[in-house]
Amino acid sequence: MEVLKRGLLLLMVFMVFQRGEGQLFENFYRGTCPNLEMIVKQVVSTKFTQTFVTIPATLRLFFHDCFVEGCDASVMIASPNGDAEKDAQDNLSLAGDGFDTVIKAKQAVEVQCPGIVSCADILALAARDVVVLAGGPSWEVELGRRDGLVSQASKVAGNLPDPEFNLVQLNTIFAKNNLTQFDMIALSGAHTLGFSHCNRFSNRLYSFSSSSVVDPSLDPNYAQQLMQACPQNVDPSIAINIDPETPRTFDNVYYQNLVSGKGLFTSDEVLFSDPASQPTVSDFASNPGNFNGAFITAMRKLGRVGVKTGNEGEIRMDCTKFKDA
């Protein structure tokens, strides 16, 4: 009997720890804000009709939020001193339309459910909704996050992947967030949407190495296209699509581009050139269903990173300000 009790206790502890990676639940707000998902979806859809940038901007915002301090909407905080997370060099390129999407959704939610839903959960829902609007898969979003109490620019450096990373560096930074190489390759598929400023990849065109000015792994015709779009000393505000084929559709063409030498960043190209990751890229390039399934799993795992619950966080009234600010 004692052995049975001990076994049950261990099982209960194991279950707590299983839940404890975030203590998140689908339908977390069923009793307190039953129309939450409908409200957020409506706001996101309206914002999308105003600008397509809503889609990549919101998805990228979620990723940047989760990789620094966890999925706690710390990236949303605006500091009068310019020292919040969003002010860090790596976050200055986050498009304003992503922030605006979350702020507007939070305002709409507050009308029906004041003081109930965190900005972190609204961002997680909005990230799912923009993928669906772009023709991608849907999934159930786990909810119950609280908003973080810390937002510091100094905490960003070294916590986001760099466009020049190799496979080992990518795997290392994703592993810090309990994400595998397979998850990393799937999440990289978000580059099927979005854009980049020229300075993030110009070294591949004009100063790659002492033996080759242009990165030889780039398809020559693609390299010429990039040079035309991004001449040397180009206006730093100029941005181009990361996926040159279907930039407004969430699909597996990103992986087909990698196979064809059309990965924009070194960190894209390496996924196909490195033998350790090439089979997964080839599979995703050929099987959209496999990619979609892997992306859903990875997004749900990403959404559990560094989640705050209870006294670890708060429910902000305004996503850009701490509650007691």
Amino acid identity for residue 179 in this structure: L
The DSSP symbol for 196 reads E
Q: Give residue 1's pLDDT.
A: 55
Residues 225 and 244: their CA atoms lie apart, in Å, by 10
Check 28, 54, 59, 64 and give the catalytic one.
64
Task: Please name which of 66, 151, 34, 57 lies closest in space to residue 104, comparing C-alpha atoms.
Answer: 57
| Statement to judge: residues 222 and 111 lie in one domain | no
Q: Mark whether 64 is an active-site residue.
A: yes
Kindly tell me the burial class for residue 308, based on how many C-beta atoms sit within 10 Å of its own C-beta (0-12, 13-18, 19 or more): buried
Q: What residue numbers bound the domain in which 65 lies?
A: 35-155
Question: Which residue bears the tokens 């999925």?
Answer: 71
| Statement to judge: residues 252 and 132 lie in one domain | no
| Statement to judge: residues 147 and 203 lie in one domain | no
- Please report which residue ranges of 194-277 form alpha helices under DSSP H: 203-206, 220-229, 253-259, 266-273
Annotated binding site: 65, 68, 70, 72, 74, 85, 161, 191-192, 243, 246, 251
Annotated binding site for heme b: 191
What's the pTM value of the predicted model, to 2 decimals? 0.92
Does 253 map to a domain? yes
| Statement to judge: residues 140 and 196 lie in one domain | no
| Statement to judge: residues 109 and 184 lie in one domain | no
| Statement to judge: residues 49 and 151 lie in one domain | yes
Residues 15 and 169: their CA atoms lie apart, in Å, by 33
Give me the residues paired with residue 143 across strands. Answer: 25
Q: What is the CATH number of the domain that holds 75?
A: 1.10.520.10
Does 27 map to a domain? no
Give me the tens of pLDDT residue by residue for the chain, a chain 325 residues long: 555 555 555 444 444 433 334 589 999 999 999 999 999 999 999 999 999 999 999 999 999 999 999 999 999 999 999 999 999 999 999 999 999 999 999 999 999 999 999 999 999 999 999 999 999 999 999 999 999 999 999 999 999 999 999 999 999 999 999 999 999 999 999 999 999 999 999 999 999 999 999 999 999 999 999 999 999 989 988 999 999 999 999 999 999 999 999 999 999 999 999 999 999 999 999 999 999 999 999 999 999 999 998 889 999 999 999 988 6
Q: Give residue 236's pLDDT.
A: 86
Annotated binding site for substrate: 161
Q: Give residue 323's pLDDT.
A: 87
| Statement to judge: residues 172 and 292 lie in one domain | yes
Structure tokens at 69: 């301090």
| Statement to judge: residues 178 and 295 lie in one domain | yes
